[in-house]
Chain A
């Protein structure tokens, strides 16, 4: 990999140990993946924030870092609500360690806003073709696919390194030739929000690490135009069950609409049937995930209902508040969002919490230790559905938002 004189100085330790280690990590990755040079990045999103995921080892490593990040940098969800620590059951030891981690990041100049949806923040702009170093898999998928920005899947240390240096090696998804779709995925049925999550679960398993080009039509062959929240749900699930960091949708996503982006329709093709989507619901013995046609025995022993993986948008919060209006929940019901979105919508948050449900910021069911206290967790997220069993030692049950709310309201 070619290094400029300035980069070489850093590599030789003339700018201190932290930057030397940082550039060493980036050069090694560049060499492994055949990068020729560094390119500047616009922003970084650092994963590995919850004490539940990085533990003392991670805390020790980040504590040894010195310096200040060179680009706007933000964090992935932590293990608890950072301003309202008592909102979920978190023990004092965990809380202390979590605060220590956040202070370390703060001292490096990183914004201690913890969210998997940085693209929903008002002041964290991402533009088409921006080069980024992001770490949370659903955010990576959204940035690459929906916004047409460019980022590889960064681990914690490589995203921190890129933030400290302000650059990343130019390889992988930063190069246009690596962004070309490699498999065509056809669907021909209408979908609601949770169907997109279920489609992601199925598609991720089928395509693995390919770059899918979706051809989404309804039964009458009309183009389906997914909303942003639906794209968010699709990408999150595909990144969890496969390792899809970029997908395209014919006639929809920005890159395939760009005349300068030249690609051919992949010859390699799969079709995903409606029945395969229904099977994701049927794993819990549901005849269908639809709200009015449900065998509720499948939800027996659900002791926690959670939504907000990835973090809820304003529209999702509004929908939840409508569904809960004037009612009270009978089960623990947690709704995860970013502090920024919550702060901009105090009335919606208040209205949701009137029901007894909790709106929790900065964290989620996967990275918070609080979820480990439950045995069967109901989710409307393909990603949470995939990760809850391993990360929370609990069963996960998949349903759409309407059924999640109904379950939370049920005695």
Chain B
């Protein structure tokens, strides 16, 4: 749910912890549950492959991908690298709390990644919002 306040004020920077450095801009895609890149995302198309999920078939390519944390096999890190090579990687990632597989995957794939942001991204972001992530300096902002 979006807090009305954020939309009306001038764009403000929300601080977070840098996991993987870099900057990107893109549209927000919110995934509410932990993601396993191995088996959960098709590395050729960038599409989410989870029949249980309402996001099944949605592409993560070029998105500011927001999800709570990673899960599953450590080979998931290489799947993220494969996504990047196939130009289907997310533009940036915001995690609630990052874990090893996604952290390593983001760093080797040079995908900017922030976590532990001062405000919960699920509270202030909506699907389709345009967001700038500056993970080198450790912040993101909603572009108006």
Interface residues of A (CB under 8 A from B): 21, 24-25, 28-29, 31-32, 47-48, 53-58, 60-61, 155-158
30 A-B pairs within 8 Å (CB atoms) are namely: A21-B107, A21-B108, A24-B107, A25-B103, A25-B104, A28-B20, A28-B98, A29-B103, A31-B17, A31-B19, A32-B19, A32-B99, A48-B75, A48-B78, A54-B75, A55-B82, A56-B82, A57-B43, A57-B82, A57-B85, A58-B78, A60-B81, A61-B108, A155-B74, A155-B77, A155-B100, A155-B101, A156-B74, A158-B100, A158-B104
Question: B130 contacts the other chain (Cβ, under 8 Å)?
Answer: no
**Roughly how many angstroms separate A32 CA and B103 CA in the complex, as a whole number?**
9
Which chain B residues have a beta carbon within 8 Å of chain A's beta carbons?
17, 19-21, 43, 74-75, 77-79, 81-82, 85, 98-101, 103-104, 107-108
CB–CB B104/A157 < 8 A: yes
A32, A54, A55, A56: the one within 8 Å of B98 (CB): A32
Contacts of B100 in A (CB 8 A): 29, 32, 155, 158
Q: Considering only CB atoms, which chain A residue lies closest to B43 in the complex?
A: A57
Could you tell me if A157 and B108 are in contact, using CB atoms closer than 8 angstroms? yes
The answer to whether residues A156 and B103 also contact, given A28-B20, A31-B17 and a CB cut-off of 8 A, is no
Contact B20 A55 (CB under 8 A): no
Residue with the highest number of chain A CB atoms closer than 10 Å, among B77, B79, B101 = B77
B101 partner residues in chain A, CB cutoff 8 A: 155
Residue of B nearest to A60 (CB): B85
| Residue in A28, A29, A55 whose beta carbon sits within 8 Å of that of B78 in the complex | A55
CB < 8 Å neighbour of A61 from B17, B74, B78? B78
Q: Once bound together, how far apart are the Cα atoms of A326 and B77, in whole Å? A: 48
B75 touches A28 (CB 8 A): no
If A32-B103, A157-B104, A158-B100 are given as contacts, then 8 extra A-B residue pairs at C-beta distance below 8 Å, sorted by A number, are: A21-B108, A24-B20, A28-B104, A48-B74, A55-B82, A155-B74, A156-B74, A157-B108
Cβ–Cβ contact B107 & A28, under 8 A: yes
Nearest CB of B to A389, in Å: 14
**In the complex, what residues of A have CB within 8 A of residue B108's CB?**
21, 25, 61, 157
Chain B residues closer than 8 Å to A155, beta-carbon distance? 74, 77, 100-101, 104
What is the bound-complex CA distance between A246 and B75, given in angstroms? 22
Which 6 A-B pairs have CB atoms at the shortest separation, nearest pair first?
Answer: A57-B82, A155-B74, A58-B78, A57-B78, A28-B103, A157-B104
- A102–B99 Cα distance when bound, in Å, is 29
Q: With CB as the reference atom, state the residue of chain A lying closest to B115.
A: A32
Most chain A CB atoms below 10 A, which of B43, B82, B85, B108: B108
| Nearest CB of B to A75, in Å | 16
Which residues of chain A are within 8 angstroms of B82 by Cβ–Cβ distance? Answer: 55-57
> Which chain A residue has the least Cβ–Cβ distance from B84?
A57
Q: How far is the CB of B107 from chain A (nearest CB, A)?
A: 5
Residues of A within 8 A of B19 (CB): 28, 31-32
Return chain B residues, CB-CB under 8 Å to A60. Answer: 81, 85
Of the listed residues B19, B43, B75, B79, the one surrounded by the most CB atoms of chain A closer than 10 A to its CB is B75
Contacts of A55 in B (CB 8 A): 78, 82
Say how far A164's CB is from chain B's closest CB, in angstroms.
13
Bound complex: CA A54 to CA B38 (Å): 11
Of B78, B79, B101, the most chain A CB neighbours within 10 A belong to B78
CB-CB < 8 A to A157: which residues of B?
77, 104, 107-108
Residues of chain B within 8 A of A54, CB atoms compared: 75, 78
Interface-centre pick from A25, A57, A58, A60 (highest chain B CB count, 10 A): A57
